[in-house]
Amino acid sequence: MQDIWTNKYRPSLPDDLPGSRLSVATIKSLASSGSLPHMIFHGPENSGKTTAALALAESLYGEDKDLNFTYLNASDFFEQGKAYLSKDKRFRRFIGDDPSRINRSVISVFKDILNEYAALAPMNASFKIIYIDDADALTDDAQNALRRIMEKYSGTCRFIFAVRNQASLIPPLRSRCIVLFFSYLCDEDLASLIRNTAAAENIDISDEAVEKIVRTSGGCIPTAFEILQLSAADAGAGDRTGMTVVTGEMIDDERCASDPLITEFADAVLEKRNIRNARTVLDKLLFDVGMTGREILIQTADVIRHSGFPEEKKARLALLIAGADSRMTDASNERIVLESFIAQAADLVWSGYLCFSTKDLIE
């Protein structure tokens, strides 16, 4: 069975981490010093936060990483609840293996788990790391409990919180941590990574194919690797030299296209000026498709950029998208920011600044 390239080429040490240069430099410095504060890894989904945490733990603990690094996912706790807790073998001693017999609340179990994990002494190290992914899902009660646990076990335990939005964490938690921001790769760095990966997999990839993957993935490494791996699989066996050839024409157009709902979303706002329908489509994108707010903005910008709109009108919409993207960095609710974008874009249309048709949204 072939490995997923996102996992196969996941950096194992801080020196190998791509992008987010300031944050990576800080992680390298902390790894070298052997000292670590509580931290918040802040950035969009699939921007490398978990990879950075694992690389940091590998650098600090080496062979003892599994003994001193604990991964917990807050969304699993508070969105799946007791069904998840009963399936994870690590937690069965707290609640058993039958969710119907769990009489305690999820938050009560969560507190017990965190207290026990934080209280365990580190092995061959001065402190251990508890990494909480998707910490945006933590309730206020859970965060207040964490605040006390962080204070109680500050001598032997460090917490790292991975969030998409800093504002989802209460101020007392944020004040106890240093914040490192992670972003998607710039086009140049991602193109270089794609070429290096293709070379490692004995793939001859054209410049056109690289450009198309870079444009489609928007700097997201897992998306770029997925497109590259699937395209290489579609290309079949290598040529007489043993190399697999991937060209721009061989990249699946459907794989690289924006979700059709994005076109419907843009159409509802810019042509039909139907805010109610735009909000309905927005809910589908967020909850049915599972897109993040930033993914919606990126694909909406891509639809507009490749449309036949006049450049001035593209620029006005680009400013609105950039403003929404900036606000989303610190927003606690992505939907509110996106609804604000809908209203602002529709207002520009209604005011006469952007009176145009979206019949040619996709060339």
What is the DSSP secondary-structure string of 269-318?
A: HHTS--HHHHHHHHHIIIIII---HHHHHHHHHHHHHTSS--HHHHHHHH
**Which strand (E) or helix (H) includes residue 51?**
helix 49-61
pLDDT of the residue at 193: 94
Whether residue 161 contacts residue 41, with contact meaning beta carbons closer than 8 Å, is answered with yes
State pTM to two decimals.
0.74
Altogether, the residues listed in the chain come to a count of 363
DSSP output for 130-149: EEEETGGG--HHHHHHHHHH
Per the model's pLDDT, the better-predicted residue between 101 and 352 turns out to be 101
Whether residue 270 contacts residue 354, with contact meaning beta carbons closer than 8 Å, is answered with yes
C-alpha distances in angstroms, 259 versus 228, 264, 357? 19, 9, 20
CA angle 284, 286, 288 (to 5 degrees): 50
| Lowest mean pLDDT, pick from 17-21, 206-210, 232-236, 315-319 | 232-236
pLDDT of residue 64 exceeding 50:
yes
pLDDT of residue 49 exceeding 50:
yes
pLDDT of residue 354 exceeding 90:
no
Task: Give the number of C-alpha atoms closer than 13 A to the C-alpha of residue 342, restricted to the C-beta side.
Answer: 27
pLDDT of residue 225 exceeding 50:
yes
The predicted-structure confidence for 132-179, as pLDDT tens digits, reads as follows 999 988 988 899 999 999 999 988 899 999 998 888 899 999 999 999
The predicted-structure confidence for 303-351, as pLDDT tens digits, reads as follows 887 777 778 878 888 899 888 988 887 777 888 999 988 888 877 766 6
pLDDT of residue 101 exceeding 70:
no
The whole-chain average pLDDT of the chain stands at 83
Please report, rounded to a whole number, the percentage of residues in the chain having pLDDT higher than 90: 29
In 127-196, the DSSP E strands lie at: 128-133, 157-163, 178-181
CA distance linking residue 217 with residue 184, whole number of Å: 10
What are the residue ranges of helices labelled H in 201-273? 207-217, 221-235, 253-256, 260-270
Token couple for 169: 């964490």
Interval 104-109 mean pLDDT: 80
pLDDT of residue 362 exceeding 60:
no
pLDDT of residue 238 exceeding 60:
no
Interval 14-38 mean pLDDT: 90
> Which of 3.40.50.1820, 3.40.50.300, 1.10.3720.10, 1.20.272.10 would CATH assign to domain 260-350?
1.20.272.10
Whether residue 166 contacts residue 330, with contact meaning beta carbons closer than 8 Å, is answered with yes
CATH, domain range 187-256:
1.10.8.60
Angle separating helix axes 334-350 and 260-270, nearest 10 degrees: 50
CATH topology agreement for domains 5-181 and 187-256 = no
CA distance linking residue 318 with residue 209, whole number of Å: 26
pLDDT of the residue at 258: 59
pLDDT of the residue at 157: 93
Whether residue 73 contacts residue 213, with contact meaning beta carbons closer than 8 Å, is answered with no
pLDDT of the residue at 350: 63
The predicted-structure confidence for 175-208, as pLDDT tens digits, reads as follows 999 999 998 999 999 999 999 999 999 998 989 8
CA distance linking residue 226 with residue 230, whole number of Å: 6
Interval 47-65 mean pLDDT: 93
pLDDT of residue 1 exceeding 50:
no
3-state secondary structure 63-75: HHHHHHEEEEEHH
pLDDT of the residue at 261: 84
Q: What is the DSSP letter of 359?
A: T
Tell me the domain boundaries of the chain.
5-181, 187-256, 260-350
Token couple for 221: 């490494």
CA distance linking residue 83 with residue 106, whole number of Å: 10
CA distance linking residue 43 with residue 38, whole number of Å: 17
Token couple for 150: 């962080």
What's 5-181's CATH class? alpha beta
pLDDT of the residue at 52: 95
Identify the CA nearest to 164 among candidates 286, 321, 341, 44: 44
Identify the CA nearest to 227 among candidates 200, 189, 204, 198: 198
